[in-house]
């Protein structure tokens, strides 16, 4: 049996689970690079029985699955894997399973980005490393308004931390009620009002047809000129060309990003060098604790598949 582990950027997959528990002779091949081209990817995976996938880094549409006749199992990680064509996988006899996930580590990155923007911490760090001293005035978060788009699993703890900092929390979700928001100390408002009034806005919604392009040029134009926008959910929720224009024209105060339309982010992308952008390479869920959970449960899924036991199936 041959097992491919995709997008193991840090090269840690073999050290975070006891793969020796698999039958003798099992060939496990981790790939530390990312392949986006479908022809190259199909050629790479043609001789594998199992593909282990890290979250949504490598989509698996029908067009790819149909080119992998040897594939019998997709061992996905995390609780959301919308870009695997489950219907076609079933038709082709490919089992698809997933793992559980901690999830809340993204809250930490969201707040690191928010505080970095308010206090201009990355710029001050760079000055210190260059031999200089203080050069910017930051802002306190106390007394400011935080707009939370998506008061759900991740947006709720983000809002609670804002309250602990003494911020006012404005919240909007498609089905959010005033009662639900009030229970978390937030005020439910229309999206347009949130955009106009918030000093910082943080996005915590899953990507769907309803949320894709949720914030475009008209919505970004409603933001305060000095307000910050933070996105740790999915890049396409915000229209990228409109966002770049707002940043380059100074119409918003700054941007905090952990997610992008194309990942890995191209080396020459403006998000890498614009001075009013604080960006991290989609590390919201990238912790040792999360990876240990992912790879250990992936191993258990493969063992279950080989023995005919039930898998953690994607719903």
Indicate which residues carry an active-site annotation: 234, 263, 282
Do 170 and 197 form a contact (C-beta atoms < 8 A)? yes
- What is the Cα–Cα distance from 289 to 263, expressed in whole angstroms? 23
Strand order in the sheet with 187-188: 187-188, 168-172, 145-149, 200-203, 228-231, 254-257, 277-279
Do 43 and 18 form a contact (C-beta atoms < 8 A)? no
């Amino acid at each position: 049996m041959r097992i491919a582990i995709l997008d193991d950027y840090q090269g840690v997959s073999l050290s975070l689970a006891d793969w020796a528990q698999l039958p003798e002779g099992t060939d496990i091949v981790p790939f530390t690079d990312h392949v986006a081209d479908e022809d190259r990817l199909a050629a790479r995976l043609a001789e594998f029985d199992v593909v282990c996938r890290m979250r949504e880094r490598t989509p698996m549409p029908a067009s790819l699955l149909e080119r992998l006749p040897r594939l019998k199992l997709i061992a996905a990680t995390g609780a959301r894997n919308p870009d695997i064509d489950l219907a076609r996988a079933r038709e082709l006899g490919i089992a698809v399973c997933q793992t559980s996930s901690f999830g809340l580590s993204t809250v930490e990155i969201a707040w690191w980005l928010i505080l970095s923007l308010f206090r201009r911490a990355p710029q001050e760090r760079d000055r210190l490393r260059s031999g200089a001293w203080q050069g910017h005035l930051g802002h306190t978060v106390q007394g400011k308004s935080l707009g939370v788009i998506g008061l759900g699993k991740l947006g709720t703890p983000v809002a609670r931390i804002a309250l602990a900092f003494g911020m006012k929390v404005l919240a909007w979700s498609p089905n959010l009620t005033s009662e639900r928001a009030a229970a978390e100390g937030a005020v439910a408002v229309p999206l347009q009002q949130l955009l106009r009034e918030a000093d910082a806005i943080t996005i915590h919604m899953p990507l769907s047809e309803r949320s894709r392009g949720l914030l475009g040029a008209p919505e970004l134009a409603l933001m305060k000129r000095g307000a910050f926008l933070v996105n740790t959910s999915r890049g396409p929720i915000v229209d990228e060309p409109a966002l770049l224009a707002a940043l380059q024209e100074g119409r918003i105060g700054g941007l905090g990003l952990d997610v992008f339309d194309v990942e890995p982010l191209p080396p020459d992308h403006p998000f890498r060098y614009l001075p009013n952008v604080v960006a991290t390479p989609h590390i919201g869920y990238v912790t040792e604790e999360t990876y240990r959970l992912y790879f250990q449960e992936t191993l258990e899924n493969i063992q279950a598949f080989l023995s005919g036991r039930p898998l953690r199936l994607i719903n």
